[in-house]
Amino acid sequence: MTASDTAHSQRSLRVWDLPNRLFHWSLLTLLLVSWFSGGEDDSAFIHRTSGMLLAGLIIFRIVWGFVGGEHARFGSFFPSPSKVIEHLKRVAAGNPERHLGHNPVGGVAVFLLLGSVSACIVTGLFSSGEGLSGPFAGQFGLDVSEIHELAFRALQGLVVLHLLGVAVESWLARDALVPAMITGRKTRSDGEPGDHAAPASLPGLAAAVVAGAAVTGILWSLPTPPAAGDDHRDKWEAYEDHLKDSERGRDRDRDWD
């Protein structure tokens, strides 16, 4: 049903649960912090902290995708090629269907954004640069700093496409998508299908929060290697020697076993 089919009588429906909305805006905030704090010596601590918080946030969302509210669950918006194509055709014709939760293209965007943020986090853990190094930099001989940079550029592109998609969908479908992600509600006429979203359980929320907090806590507890560069060369060589000693220690333990 399109916006032109709506009647005068309106209903305000609960769609997005509070944890999902907090995730959405926290993700945006932390991505901006990571963007503006990257590559600078004096903001290395901020960049590293935002990355660790993002890691916990992504783990929270993954768990919430299985135990969260009705429209937060992955199963409610997992996209199929046929649905994506049909939705794009209707957008091109100027009459997209209004969805209470994510539309098919929005579902694709969710998975792409989660994947790209995860790629940035993982490569950041193994990256080393001027004034900034991940906790696993130098481990296994890996330094993926350039891949980390490329992953973040790809993420920036996805964010731009996502914002354009939200603007186009809001305009064509006459659906206030941004306000809905703030209030958690969407307005529908009596003639349109839909009802209040089923809420999540408190144990599910607790599990998601604990999982996310545990990941951030574990990453925070890891020792941070010195940053690469001429000013840190001695510290970096000492850290590499420490890694080699640790590896030799593990070899000796295996020999004893």
Topology of domain 3-225, CATH: Fumarate Reductase Cytochrome B subunit (1.20.950)
215: CB partners within 8 A, 6+ apart: 55, 56, 59
What is the residue extent of each domain of the chain? 3-225, 226-257
What's this model's pTM, rounded to 2 decimal places? 0.82
- Residue carrying structure tokens 């969710």: 110
pLDDT band of 243, cuts 50, 70, 90:
low
For 19-72, the pLDDT digits (tens) are 999 999 999 999 999 998 876 667 888 999 999 999 999 999 999 999 999 999
Nearest CA to 138 out of 257, 46, 219, 223 is that of: 223
